[in-house]
Structure 1
Amino acid sequence: MEVVKCGACAGAGSGSGGRGGIGIGGACVGRNLVRAYSPRRLSGPGPASAPALGVSSSSSSSSSPSRSCRRLFSEARPLLSRRAFSRTLCRKRVVSAMDQSSEKSAASGTTATTEVTGAKEAELLQAFCGIPSIDKAWTSSSRRGSGGVDVVVAMSSVNLQANAKRTFISTVYIPDPSGNAEDYHWSPFPFELGGALLIVPSPSGTKLLIVRKADPIAKEGPAAIKLEIWGPGQLLKELFVAPSVHGSLYADGWFEGVSWSNDEESIAYVAEEPSAPLPVYGQSLFATGQSSSRSEAESDASSWKGQGEWMEDWGESYTGKRRPMLFVASINSGCVQRVEGIPKDISVGQVVWAPAPPPGEPAQQLIFVGWPSYATNFSTARKLGMKYCYNRPCALYAIEAPSESRVVAQAAVHPVKLTGEVSSAVIPRFSPDGTQLVFLSAKAAVDSGAHCATNSLNAIDWPTDGVVSANLPMREVVPVVMNPREDGFPGLYVSNIIAQPWLSDGSTLLFTSAWRSMQVILAVNIESGAITRITPHDTIASWSLLGVQDDVVLAVSSSPTSPPCLKLGNNLSSSTNTGSGKKWDWSNINIPSLKFPSKVETALATMTYEVLQVPLERAEPTNSESGGPKPSIEVIYVSPRIFHSKQPQGAKKSDVPPLIVVLHGGPHSVSQTTYSRPLVFLSALGFSLLHVNYRGSTGFGEEALQSLRGNVGRQDVDDVLLAVEHVISEGLAERQRIGVLGGSHGGFLTSHLIGQAPDAFVTGVLRNPVCNLSSMIGVTDIPDWCYVETFGKDALSAYSDAPSISDLSMFYKASPIAHLSKVKVPTLFLLGAQDRRVPASNGLQYVQALRARGLEVKVIIFPEDMHAIDRPQSEFESFLNIGTWFKRFLLNSGA
């Protein structure tokens, strides 16, 4: 093993590779822990001094807790340290202070409660948290024998005590993928990858890159990142990268890019630019004449570092993250070099190596996606939020890779823009023979302003001589589908393509895409444009592509009632035209050691789900280009009990489970028939779930998606109410026992529904909801979203960073707060204090207005969570509260 500590030095590399990897985080709180911290033990309002915005007061954080607090601490002593308990207690006090609606509720005749959790519900949710998910998998030709395949599977489970994700690796050997599907061999035990940020195997599968945060104790001097290169049976090299070279790697699935060169001797990746030095104030500022022999400790004692100038970042989930830049690490020399010549106003991501040029031809090229700092489709001088926003203009660039042999006096290197005529180009992949560079385009999103829209697939003819120019031939392989036929191909909705996605013919590309309410695997022949759905047509479960080895496909399948399972696909066709007419045989790769708790097995055994069509004859006309609405929308109905889609005449309402309407965000997103741990927990509690894919959802064609722009709060509200009436008429729901749950735009829609249809729902639960666009516009990282969804087609020209009074009036009229006076149901709010997409203040404004009307409102603020509220402990607490809240209002209503 060779250890190299890297500063700023030159590195070399050549060849081609692909981007692909997995972000790694770090299973469970015991029953006693849940009971110890149940708010029942902290009943009653919090102290008068407790603040209302998730910041504990000085008394809350005191080291001398009250008598009742000391008694609670004594009970919890075996579980947590005093400091951990103090933090938990402070948080519970804040939550209690936020729930001071009890006094007003009593005055108004409503019933308030401080009860949030129950031990039985917590134990059940815990059991579901223990079920691992399948995150990534890599396939390679096995060295054990010809024709065999080695598979490395990365799985993760929730580690609640550490508030992190536990990721572990298992391997399976498949001797004959086309033969006996039962003939496979798992390694005896999985092993955990603690502290890894990314793992990326080389194309051949003989090397593995593991990226970790550097241990400052292990090596002399500071280091930001450690790159470990593993080979068969040993660690080949460690590269310690100093902060002066770059900051942390981007492992976010957006800017993220790690690519092995074709010869597997170099690695290109995306990382933060190094931090600028901060100004120093104090003694060192004016004591320049003093002796330089003063110790560093003495200087530190009399000086301090200032904050420096504020640096604009890319918004939600990128707070404090510096500009993404491109670097190349040479495995042989151990040196890491920044790729020079990229303009400062370009943020880099999704890098891949171009094919190696012929000997004597131009240097090796790197291909990357570049986002300009300022969106050209909106009139703004600011960075708009990037995460989940496909409407940000971007392009593919080629630039010469660093080389140790480069002459110093050589002319400066500049990137070549490859997609000048296309407003969006993402996820580049080279064909196996290196003649085609394919990429996805979100041009429909960029040109319309919608944050997500239908993709097109494009291809560039790559020059065999390696001479790159801005005028390479380009063509559209799969265009945007505007109005698909019923059950026909709805268009491409792709968020990622694996590093090696090609079948053995070299021209058939595989990827995962939304297909109405499902997720399917598609095969596209890039020569003919022919599209084939290779996943089974006789199932409505969702599938996702994990790996491809020749004509063997590894996938994961799940459904709202079935946890993820591995699938192996074999191509049964002998035809060489693999893009059309293929027949696939699928078999399970069971993980023999994977066992579910009995309570989980029992709950899953009785659940059922189906996809229903809801006619839209009663819907109001929209601004659809075809002059009318689509004939139907789709909903996913999940029930905790097995029964037919239409209940028999005269069925007792006690036989029909209470219903929770679940609304996705976006709004240009989609609910799919995939497994969701928190939602299956709600089903296990006895609730039916209705996921409504209202018009505007992805996976149904571009025309239906764009019809929602400018119609939010009206068209989506109508669609949801129509879906609810449909399931009531089918005997699947009882009118007096229906609640509604949504987050982000789903929260926007939830608050609209309880205001516009105050008698349709018993209660509502809102997670980081949009409640008032007129106040959100000035503080969100995506003000363009407010314009697009309110102004529709006029949004691009109407956008302003200084909205007019007229604009603010339009925003207010489109907002749920405009219907607040009609709300009459109790509500639960879950807010992330670090949310930059929909800041918590937006929900709190709505909360205080509801309380002023004497309505019962409960609020939980998660101090360290962003928009998704997906940190393990936060998600656990969120859905435990959601489950007990719905049990209180739905299981006991309508009797």
Structure 2
Amino acid sequence: MSADSGFPSKIYRELTEIPSFKAAQFQGPNIIRATASAQDHVRKTNRKTAKTFVLSGDAVNVTGSPDESEVVASLVSPTGKHLAILRETGGSSDKKRFVEVWAGDRLHAVEDVSEKHGAFYTDEFLSSVSFSPSEDKLVYVAEGKEPDNSSDPLSKFRFVPELGEAYGGKKRPTIFLYDWSRGVDSAVAPLALAEADAPMVLLAHPVFASDEKIIALGYEYSKDGRLLGVIYCPNRVAGVWQLSLPNDRWVSAEEPTLRCSSTRLTRPGVACRSPRVFTHEGRTKLVFASNPAGGPHHTCSRLEVLDLETSKLRTIVEIIQDSGRDAFPGLYTPSLPVYPFLELPTRGPFLVVSSVFRSRTTVLLVSLTSGSTWDLTPATKEQWSWTVLGTDGKTGVICVRSALNRPPELVLGTVDADTEVTWKVLYTPTLSEDLRQKLDDLVVSVHAVPERFPTETIVVRSKTRKSQPCITMPHGGPHSASSTAFFAASTAFAVEGYTVAFPNYTGSIGYGEKYIQELPGKCGRLDIDDCMASVRYLIEQGISEEGKQYLLSGSHGGFIIGHLIGQFPDDFKAAVIRNPVINLGETSTTDIPDWYFVEIGVGFRPDSVMTPDIYSDAFAMSPVAYADDVRTPLQVHIGLKDQRVSIDQGKKYYHLLKAKGREVEMFCFPEDGHAIDSLEGARAAYHAAINHFARFRTD
């Protein structure tokens, strides 16, 4: 089907082809290198680009590489003198991998690692790239080679647990050291703990603390030999470890792994993440985020500082239970920026981080001495959401800001000694005049739902068109949040004639720990009542209309929609659910079995079993209990590689409704997992949903 045939729609195509910045770093005092990604619907791929911004007074000169498709990841060294590139070339059958270090336009060092390991890891939960202080070494994460078990004919059949959702086929994330200063033929080596009695941990997220020491996370396996899924789950037990590189040996054919002596730096039973190292007044310190292990999958975080010389640990940002309606609600961030530190004149070291702050993401400035916190991007009528990408280590911070009616912009902030910030826009995407006018017609607003604090709803709608149908999109999780940030598919629905509402119900992050903990044990009631109260409030306010209500979401959002169409069968014209949770009692094939027990309100242990009594309660809390009452025309989307929610949940629901004579159809996406976010899958899912809603529009 050609690109002009209406699939994808012109609006969806242009919105998804807008570049989204993924990383940015300073290469010098006035030079910034940023990388971006955008969909290319002609080549049917995600196109990567890099741009260099040279600042001269008020002027910004931009140069760029039109295609960086071979670059998997890149990192500018702390001095800006070197650029590390992890590169993959060729197709699936002849793929080659290289680690490159550039000095300006000169290739300073390069290693062909095609035979040393599998795919590079680039996600924010396991991977990182880090230069040593002397900038003659590099660490990164890649899939380790299978051990040579030629003497064991059953080795290839022995069970090795995979890493769960989004890590299909990956089992052995391994830290690799590239030491080009050695002048040896093979300068890349995998790292492992040297101790014979070392605990069963999976090492990831490495960062140099000195030329001889590396800080890493150690994810811990549970007693049943499982590593619970880590993506979107910052509650997994993970300690911070210090690895000491051996100076007296290098790898050999007899010993292909570089074994490091190690020390665990953090207390047991805590979920740590994003270790970052900084030096202040000659002392090297470590900053990391931590969460209570277990329980809800995303909770309020602590920010902790560890003095690597004295081993003194301080918590500088505590968990906030209940901040009320306006105050700082606590820290909610999946990861810290690669370079998150500032050094303000006369004020000492600071950290900048983006965090969910009710219905937006904002930029927080945190003093690493006092723990005082400032919101650098308070809410304005534009309803911007912000993401921190990096700093210059002094007073400059690079961010992306966007809103549901404003595509991503790259901005540079300068923070003064009074913690005031001034912003300079470096890049704004070029839009067609038609799309620009359509986006200008949209307005974004946030509405507190009366008597249901902390519930509030983000709305994007037309300023001029009245009587539009309304699509309610409850987020998944349930312990996550919708924000005002630009999301191409959601904005496309608004541009194509829908009001779109995103309720943040009780259990959402960004409001205080108290409200996260209120939902477990009340799923299927509290979250449903909050979302229905949002629907009715928007009708009362004239923002939407009765008889023109639609629903779309996935995962726990699909769980909510299943309840809404079952408990309120006459309120909605049509609904779409993606990889939904339909029965809390069915935990087969999931990489997060603990989630089901926690949200039911039952404690989870590695040996927990879904007993008949627990199953009975779980069934009663689930959408399947209301299947007899469903009358809303439903569309089900299933990612066939989903490891988070069993694909049988959505399929069984489809067949159940079909057997009852309901109007239901299902689409399956062979190359997609839980998120249905491949280029082909995402655009087909959007096309199917908007066609489904169009069939039942009456305006």
* 2:604 corresponding residue in structure 1: 796
* 2:570 corresponding residue in structure 1: 759
Which residue identity is paired with 2:462? P
State the 1:125 CA deviation.
1.6
Contact 1:121–1:884 (Cα < 8 Å) also in 2: no
Residues 788, 536 of structure 1: CA spacing in aligned structure 2 closer, same or farther, 3 A cutoff? closer
For residues 91 and 471 of structure 2, the distance between their equivalents in structure 1, rounded to whole angstroms, comes to 49
Contact 2:245–2:261 (Cα < 8 Å) also in 1: no
SS at match of 1:796: coil
* 2:142 corresponding residue in structure 1: 271
Q: Structure 1: which 5+ runs fail to align?
A: 1-28, 36-118, 143-148, 286-304, 357-363, 465-471, 576-580, 618-630, 644-654
For residues 230 and 122 of structure 1, the distance between their equivalents in structure 2, rounded to whole angstroms, comes to 41
State the 1:396 CA deviation.
0.3
SS at match of 2:192: coil
Q: Which among 114, 118, 136 is matched to residue 23 of structure 2?
A: 136
For residues 312 and 245 of structure 2, the distance between their equivalents in structure 1, rounded to whole angstroms, comes to 23
Residues 728, 235 of structure 1: CA spacing in aligned structure 2 closer, same or farther, 3 A cutoff? same
RMSD: 2.6
* 2:458 corresponding residue in structure 1: 636
Which residue identity is paired with 1:131? I
For residues 432 and 842 of structure 1, the distance between their equivalents in structure 2, rounded to whole angstroms, comes to 51
Structure 1 residues 461-860: aligned runs within 5 Å: 461-463=307-309, 472-505=311-344, 506-539=348-381, 540-549=383-392, 550-571=394-415, 573=416, 575=417, 581-591=418-428, 594-616=429-451, 631-642=453-464, 655-775=466-586, 777-790=587-600, 792=601, 794-796=602-604, 800-860=607-667
Residues 330, 381 of structure 1: CA spacing in aligned structure 2 closer, same or farther, 3 A cutoff? closer
What do the CA deviations read for 1:365-394 (whole angstroms, capped 9, x no partner)? 11100011217xxxx443322211122111
Contact 2:552–2:558 (Cα < 8 Å) also in 1: yes
Would you say 1:225 and 2:87 are equivalent positions? no
**Bigger Cα displacement from structure 2, 715-724 vs 495-504:** 495-504
For residues 372 and 487 of structure 1, the distance between their equivalents in structure 2, rounded to whole angstroms, comes to 37
Which residue identity is paired with 1:504? E
For residues 204 and 30 of structure 1, the distance between their equivalents in structure 2, rounded to whole angstroms, comes to 48
**Bigger Cα displacement from structure 2, 704-713 vs 539-548:** 539-548
Q: Which among 419, 423, 432 is matched to residue 279 of structure 2?
A: 432
Residues 412, 132 of structure 1: CA spacing in aligned structure 2 closer, same or farther, 3 A cutoff? closer
Which residue identity is paired with 1:247? G
Which residue identity is paired with 1:780? T
For residues 123 and 642 of structure 1, the distance between their equivalents in structure 2, rounded to whole angstroms, comes to 22
Contact 1:518–1:542 (Cα < 8 Å) also in 2: yes
Q: Which among 93, 108, 111 is matched to residue 236 of structure 1?
A: 108
What do the CA deviations read for 1:681-707 (whole angstroms, capped 9, x no partner)? 101110001100000001010000110
* 1:337 corresponding residue in structure 2: 189
Would you say 1:261 and 2:144 are equivalent positions? no
For residues 810 and 163 of structure 1, the distance between their equivalents in structure 2, rounded to whole angstroms, comes to 45
For residues 155 and 390 of structure 2, the distance between their equivalents in structure 1, rounded to whole angstroms, comes to 49
Residues 373, 632 of structure 1: CA spacing in aligned structure 2 closer, same or farther, 3 A cutoff? closer
Residues 306, 704 of structure 1: CA spacing in aligned structure 2 closer, same or farther, 3 A cutoff? closer
Which residue identity is paired with 2:21? I
State the 1:407 CA deviation.
12
For residues 206 and 215 of structure 1, the distance between their equivalents in structure 2, rounded to whole angstroms, comes to 29
Would you say 1:390 and 2:200 are equivalent positions? no
For residues 251 and 446 of structure 2, the distance between their equivalents in structure 1, rounded to whole angstroms, comes to 63
Which residue identity is paired with 2:88? K
SS at match of 2:446: strand
Structure 1 residues 285-434: aligned runs within 5 Å: 307-332=156-181, 333=183, 335-341=187-193, 343=198, 345-356=200-211, 364-374=212-222, 380-403=224-247, 413-421=260-268, 423-433=270-280, 434=283
For residues 128 and 704 of structure 1, the distance between their equivalents in structure 2, rounded to whole angstroms, comes to 34
Which residue identity is paired with 2:409? C
SS at match of 1:546: strand
- TM, length-normalised to structure 2: 0.93
Structure number with the bigger relative contact order (C-alpha 8 A, sep ≥ 6) is: 1
State the 1:340 CA deviation.
3.5
- TM, length-normalised to structure 1: 0.73
Query: Larger % of strand: which?
Result: 2
Residues 391, 407 of structure 1: CA spacing in aligned structure 2 closer, same or farther, 3 A cutoff? closer
What do the CA deviations read for 1:665-719 (whole angstroms, capped 9, x no partner)? 0000000010000111101110001100000001010000110011111000000
Residues 632, 474 of structure 1: CA spacing in aligned structure 2 closer, same or farther, 3 A cutoff? closer
SS at match of 1:386: coil
What do the CA deviations read for 1:755-794 (whole angstroms, capped 9, x no partner)? 011122111110111112223x12211111110001x2x4
Which residue identity is paired with 1:869? I
Residues 412, 610 of structure 1: CA spacing in aligned structure 2 closer, same or farther, 3 A cutoff? closer
* 1:65 corresponding residue in structure 2: none
Contact 1:608–1:642 (Cα < 8 Å) also in 2: no
SS at match of 1:795: coil
Which residue identity is paired with 2:201? I
Which residue identity is paired with 2:426? I
Residues 554, 340 of structure 1: CA spacing in aligned structure 2 closer, same or farther, 3 A cutoff? closer
Contact 2:636–2:665 (Cα < 8 Å) also in 1: yes
State the 1:887 CA deviation.
1.9
Residues 809, 407 of structure 1: CA spacing in aligned structure 2 closer, same or farther, 3 A cutoff? closer
Residues 555, 405 of structure 1: CA spacing in aligned structure 2 closer, same or farther, 3 A cutoff? same
For residues 418 and 795 of structure 1, the distance between their equivalents in structure 2, rounded to whole angstroms, comes to 28
What do the CA deviations read for 1:231-266 (whole angstroms, capped 9, x no partner)? 1112222201253x3322221221102110011100
For residues 401 and 413 of structure 1, the distance between their equivalents in structure 2, rounded to whole angstroms, comes to 5
For residues 256 and 440 of structure 1, the distance between their equivalents in structure 2, rounded to whole angstroms, comes to 16
Q: Structure 2: which 5+ runs fail to align?
A: none
Which residue identity is paired with 1:399? L
SS at match of 1:431: strand
Q: Which among 138, 155, 163 is matched to residue 36 of structure 2?
A: 155
Residues 710, 347 of structure 1: CA spacing in aligned structure 2 closer, same or farther, 3 A cutoff? same
Which residue identity is paired with 2:202? S
For residues 806 and 613 of structure 1, the distance between their equivalents in structure 2, rounded to whole angstroms, comes to 38
Residues 845, 600 of structure 1: CA spacing in aligned structure 2 closer, same or farther, 3 A cutoff? same
For residues 656 and 533 of structure 1, the distance between their equivalents in structure 2, rounded to whole angstroms, comes to 37
